[in-house]
Amino acid sequence: QVQLVESGGGLVRAWGSPRLSCAASGSIFSINAMEWYRQAPGKQRELVAGITSDEKTNYADSVKGRFTISRDNAKNTVYLQMNSLKPEDTAVYYCRVIINYRAYWGQGTQVTVSS
């Protein structure tokens, strides 16, 4: 069994800088791409950022220059450093990780940005 546990969400003031974490555990033989998605109320889930096994990154245009994705392979963990938060960043944030060639989703963590 593989499990993803997210942490780091909550109520944040605009321009705040929280960091989300997503730790994988269980029977892990390989981890490839690690990604963060978000879903705001009434909107579709969207890709926020991704990082490959060789640490190439990609970002949604709306977060470029403000968010940074990184990974710690020793800890099987992916991070999302969020800076200069805006109210429109309010959403449930989910990690998605390719483990043993299969996609797993985290349970989601709410990030609410107050103006």
13-32 pLDDT, tens digit each = 999 999 999 999 999 999 99
- Tell me the residue length of the chain: 115
- In the predicted model, what is the mean pLDDT of residues 75-87? 97
User: pLDDT (tens digit, 9 = 90+) per residue, 31-62?
Assistant: 999 999 999 999 999 999 999 999 999 999 99
Percent of the chain predicted with pLDDT > 70: 100
Q: Is the pLDDT of residue 94 over 90?
A: yes
What is the model's pLDDT at position 115?
86
